[in-house]
Structure 1
Amino acid sequence: MIPRPFENAPRLRGGRSNCPPRVVVLPRGRAYENLEEIVSFEGITGVFVGPSDLSASLGMYGKIESEEFIDTLADIARRAKTYRKLTGLMAHTLSIARKAVELGYNFISLAHDTKFLMEGAKMFLSEFKK
């Protein structure tokens, strides 16, 4: 039996159940400039956005929740979908994770484990001090 999260994997990969996914990371503005060429490439399954690196290379560092950067994320999702490619995003905040899902992103990496550890420690200390 296939675990539930993976039951649609063959369909998402065009029926190629024995083919591992091939995802291209879009860390730089140059990759965004060449997005059409990347997502139209037959051999890839999808693209993954690292918002910190991409925003920095586009001159928007630290503004990953700005309207301009959200428009960039929407454009990536729209163009990838045109070529039936999956889209993923490293979400550093809950709001950007929700926005990515709203934009049609297929998979979300929820920040880094160290961030979760720090947030948990802050919450614990905050409650402890009460």
Structure 2
Amino acid sequence: MTHKDHLDEGRLSAEWEGDVEVLKSLRRNGDDARTRRPVDVRFVGPAENIQAFAKASGGWEVIQIVDLGDELALDVRRNQTTEDSAIRALTIDALAEEKKRGVRYDGWGTVAQKKKRWFGL
């Protein structure tokens, strides 16, 4: 069994509700969900847990560690689309990391990518 097998379905559902709102906003701004782009994710927690996570990033590209005073934040990145299934998979992975590493998943963000238009001669 993996940490993904033990996800709290209520928590996943609550996170997905927020994800849907972000996805709607991206689409209103002309986002082409099929375009791969950087998607940033933030985790927050005790310094020792964040530092250990950063060292064993497990497929995430580490962007930075931010000192929040009594905790640290770890910003990581994945290149992917913003299609519903890709964002749901990202959220499931982030919640699994949260449980595995003793940190809190604090959400994701990205910039809308407009569909590229090609004009012929």
Q: TM-score range by the shorter chain?
A: under 0.3
Greater Rg by CA:
1
Structure with the bigger RCO (C-alpha within 8 Å, sep 6+) is: 2
TM-score normalised over the length of structure 1: 0.24
TM-score normalised over the length of structure 2: 0.25
- Structure number with the higher helix fraction is 1
- Structure number with the higher strand fraction is 2
